[in-house]
A and B are shown apart, each in its own frame.
Chain A
Amino acid sequence: MSGDKEKIYLFDRPKNVDRLLKGFYATCILLVLADFILHRHIGFDWEKIPAFYAIYGFVACVLLVVVAKRMRNVLMRKEGYYDD
């Protein structure tokens, strides 16, 4: 980076990033498995879908980002737009 002497930080090593991500994926898998073992109370019918919350969370966020990106086409102006 900026100098030879600079300390190597936690996430400068790709191995550490990799470990973090692997742990994260493992937790995600465990959470889905837990859905089949533990009993959830059901308030609405759609909650009966296996791993409903996991699917909903993933889809919701992908949709959110895709739509927000599209919004940029319409809404984005250069910095200082109002100052002109």
Chain B
Amino acid sequence: MMTELPPFLLYFIAALLVAATRGLPRQLILLATPVVTGLYLWQSIEPGAHVVYSLMNYDLTLLRVDKLSLLFSYLFCIASFFAGIFSLHVKDTKQHVAGLMYAGSALGAVFSGDLITLFIFWELLAISSVFLIWARGTERALKAGMRYLVFQVLSGVLLLAGALVYYHQTGSLAFDHIGLDAGVAGWLIFIAFGIKSAFPFLHSWLTDGYPEATVTGTVLLSAFTTKVAVYSLARGFAGEEILIYIGVTMACFPIFYAVIENDLRKVLAYSLINQVGFMVTGIGIGTALALNGAVAHAFSDVIFKGLLFMSMGAVLYRVGNINGSDLGGLYKSMPKTTVLCIIGALSISAFPLFSGFVSKSMVMTALMQEDHGYLWLLMLFASAGVFHHAGIKIPYFAFFHHDSGIRTQEAPRNMLVAMGVAAALCIFIGTQPQYLYALLPWEVKYWPYDVTHVLAQTQLLFFSALAFVWLNKRGLYPPELRSVNLDAEWLYRRLLPTGAQRILNLLADIKESALTKISVQTQRVQNEFSKSPIAKYHLAESWQTGSMVFWISAILGAFLLLEIFGLGH
């Protein structure tokens, strides 16, 4: 019996309405959907609510509510709200439909109470989101979208396979703690979640696909897929030690790529993996403080990463290019976007008073409490690196640096409003963290603002900036170059195709030489035959096809005549 309406339905209905409307009504629906859904979640959905829908004797748990799923559902409403404002100017119907379906699927996924329902929304996330890449309309985007889709669908298939094995082993499909002790089932589901969280070597769909999406699409993409995966890991695999090591790797390796990457939206994609690394580490530690830190950081990250993607989107929209090598000096024509981008940069760098600080410090403190000394040092390195590539590089190369001579207009008003909303939230969370902390699922006392934290973090960041200044003055900072840097995608974009091509070539060679050998042999046999006395008979000669056909026709004709005149009987 349905008691409460599952919130994803509101989004799916909105997607239908958006497909049927244009102009102002459509814009109103885009704005109203997250607001109405958010208020509905805030007012009417309590932890413990449960909605089950029976389909062919199977109970799909469409709504299972606790503080963890509620936190993510609020976050997704906020993200789709500012992304909606940001895309108000877009006329393309399929982008709006895909965006609403995508956000709705994310809501569906975090409220799923069983693995089959989760699987359904998992695949809906994949299918709806790929249209945000394809909508760019370029051939590059088409191909990148295809590769993105392959990864996403693979993740879904692994999830389904894992769910079935899990059911076979335990007799349950409930989506609660799964753990790697569940054997094959556990690992299958773990890898399915891992693909969507962009684990190392499984991450290239993200850095490949996100920079190819539309100006507005990337904002949505950065908000949902990886965060649904973080939610799923927090629910299914909290406290799995391997996650600590995976998370630290994720936090560290992308920053090197981010330093040398030219496409500034790709720099942000790498820094997205770096931030998810902090969340995955927190989940791996598994203490109440670490888990709270992981989900709180997901909350801040969606907002500041959305802000950064919006500011780079605004630049791409106005200039038509987002390569660091071609930009510079844009603060002159886009001053408001510059300021908003800097707020996002300060937030991702975890400056005190900005949102990243109040969430990332929880994960760092948890690492310290659990006495992971060396990992803590690595994460401190990653923290300094974030500031370096996302905090400084992004605003510096786009808006300052040398003057590229580009003079353009300020971002459209709707984009400025969207960025303004996100920026205000970054500062609000950073200065008033108690409201975010009150939403966190686990009970723990924590307060980020004390002398130690503030002083340590400020020193770390200012001296990272000093390193940037020093390297730049000495001319040691690597210039932005138009280039491609090899990453895990090389395996399937180069090695596999070239490998396959080599194998095909090899097979073709084998076929060629076999054919030559056979024809040489037949030639030899014929030569032998022509030397023999039988070859002298007229019938033993090789006949031309034409004459053979003629004689066969003659014989058939003779039979026909015999038949007609009844001579055969």
Contact = CB atoms under 8 A, between A and B. Distances in A.
Interface of A: 1-2, 7, 9-12, 21, 24-25, 27-28, 31-32, 34-35, 38-41, 43-44, 46, 51, 53-62, 64-69, 71-72, 74-83
B375 to A, nearest CB: 11
A68 to B, nearest CB: 4
Contacts of A72: 260, 478, 481, 483, 485
A2 B464 CA distance: 35
Interface string B445-463: 0000011100111111111
Interface string B125-150: 00000000000000010000000000
Contacts of A64: 255-256, 259, 381, 384-385, 388
A44 B373 contact: yes
Interface stretch (B300-308, B355-363, B467-475): B467-475
B79 to A, nearest CB: 30
B247 to A, nearest CB: 18
A14 B200 CA distance: 44
Contacts of B486: 74-77
A12 B259 CA distance: 26
A41 to B, nearest CB: 4
Contacts of B463: 28, 31, 53-58, 61
Contacts of A28: 462-463, 466
A1 B405 contact: yes
B493 to A, nearest CB: 5
Given A57-B466, A74-B486, 19 more contacts: A28-B462, A40-B452, A41-B452, A44-B368, A56-B384, A57-B464, A59-B467, A61-B384, A61-B467, A64-B385, A68-B259, A68-B260, A68-B478, A71-B256, A71-B485, A72-B485, A76-B486, A78-B483, A79-B483
B478 A69 contact: yes
A46 B377 CA distance: 10
Interface residues of B, number: 53
B462 A39 contact: no
B471 to A, nearest CB: 6
A65 B484 contact: no
B332 A51 contact: no
B15 to A, nearest CB: 34
A77 B28 CA distance: 46
Nearest to B368: A43
B495 to A, nearest CB: 12
A44 B376 contact: yes
Residue from B451, B452, B456, B462 whose CB has the most chain A CB atoms within 10 Å: B462
Contact of A57 (B259, B462, B477): B462
Contacts of A35: 455, 459
A27 B351 CA distance: 15
Most buried by A among B140, B260, B459, B465: B459
A82 B144 CA distance: 11
A32 B468 CA distance: 18
B455 A31 contact: yes
The 7 nearest A-B residue pairs measured at CB: A61-B467, A57-B463, A68-B259, A53-B459, A57-B460, A58-B463, A60-B384
Contacts of B485: 71-72, 75-77
Given A57-B384, A58-B467, A64-B385, A82 B451 contact: no
B484 A76 contact: yes
B253 to A, nearest CB: 10
26 contacts: A10-B331, A12-B403, A21-B469, A24-B465, A32-B459, A40-B451, A40-B455, A43-B368, A53-B457, A53-B463, A56-B380, A60-B467, A61-B385, A61-B388, A64-B255, A65-B259, A65-B471, A68-B478, A69-B476, A71-B485, A75-B260, A76-B483, A76-B486, A77-B484, A77-B486, A79-B482
Given A65-B388, A68-B256, A27 B478 contact: no
Interface string B249-287: 000000111011000000000000000000000000000
A65 B465 contact: no
B459 A9 contact: no
B494 interface: yes
B72 to A, nearest CB: 30
Contacts of A71: 256-257, 260, 485
